[in-house]
Amino acid sequence: MHTLFLKLVFLMTTDLSRHLAAFLSAYLPGERGISGNTINSYRDTFILLLIYYSDVMKIPAEKLTLNMIKAETITGFLDWLESERRSCAATRNVRLAAIHSFFRYLQYHYPQSLDEWQRILSIPVKKTAKPVVNYLTVDGIKLLLKGPDQSTKSGRRDLALLSLMYNSGCRVQEIIDLIPSMVRMDPPCTVKLIGKGNKARIVPMLDEQVKFLKKYMKENNLLEPYANMYPLFCNNRHEKLTRAGVNYILNKYADIARSKNPVIIPEKLSCHCIRHSMAMHLLQSGVNLVYIRDLLGHSSIQVTEIYARVDSKQKREAIAKAYEDVMPQEEPSWMKNDGLLEWLKSFNR
In a domain, 330, yes or no: no
Q: What does the mean pLDDT of the chain come to?
A: 84
Same domain, 145 and 230: yes
Largest interatomic CA distance in the chain: 91
- Is 70 exceeded by the pLDDT of residue 317? no
How far apart are the C-alpha atoms of 134 and 290, rounded to whole Å?
21
Range of the domain at 183: 138-316
**Cα 261-266-270 angle, rounded to 5 deg:** 125
Among left, alpha and beta (phi > 0; psi -120 to 50; other), residue 34 is: beta
Question: Minimal CA–CA distance to 148: which of 137, 136, 138, 160?
Answer: 160
**What average pLDDT score do residues 31-58 get?**
91
Residue 109 catalytic? no
- Residue 285: what pLDDT? 82
In a domain, 48, yes or no: yes
- Residue 175: what pLDDT? 94
Query: Where residue 214 falls among pLDDT bands split at 50, 70, 90?
Result: very high
Above pLDDT 90, what percent of the chain?
55
Residue 298 catalytic? yes
- Is 90 exceeded by the pLDDT of residue 100? yes
- Residue 72: what pLDDT? 96
- Is 60 exceeded by the pLDDT of residue 328? no
Same domain, 170 and 249: yes
Same domain, 203 and 299: yes
Q: Are 137 and 81 in contact (CB under 8 A)?
A: no
In a domain, 245, yes or no: yes
**What average pLDDT score do residues 265-293 get?**
87
- Is 70 exceeded by the pLDDT of residue 336? no
Helices 114-121 and 71-83, packing angle to 10 deg: 30
Per annotation, catalytic residue among 92, 157, 276, 298? 298
pLDDT digits (tens, 9 = 90+) for 15-29: 898 999 999 999 999
- Is 70 exceeded by the pLDDT of residue 283? yes
In a domain, 333, yes or no: no
Residue 307 catalytic? yes
Say which DSSP state 321 is in: H
Per annotation, catalytic residue among 32, 192, 196, 240? 196
In a domain, 128, yes or no: no
Rg, the chain, Cα only: 27
Query: Where residue 170 falls among pLDDT bands split at 50, 70, 90?
Result: very high
Same domain, 142 and 86: no
Q: Are 16 and 65 in contact (CB under 8 A)?
A: yes
Same domain, 183 and 56: no
Same domain, 106 and 149: no
Query: Where residue 299 falls among pLDDT bands split at 50, 70, 90?
Result: confident
**Cα 214-196-93 angle, rounded to 5 deg:** 135
Per annotation, catalytic residue among 32, 119, 240, 272? 272
Per annotation, catalytic residue among 157, 171, 258, 281? 171
In a domain, 341, yes or no: no
143: domain CATH number is 1.10.443.10
Cα dihedral: 205, 147, 273, 177 (round 10): 50
The number of domains in the chain is 2
Per annotation, catalytic residue among 275, 276, 281, 293? 275
Residue 171 catalytic? yes
> What's the one-letter identity of residue 328?
P
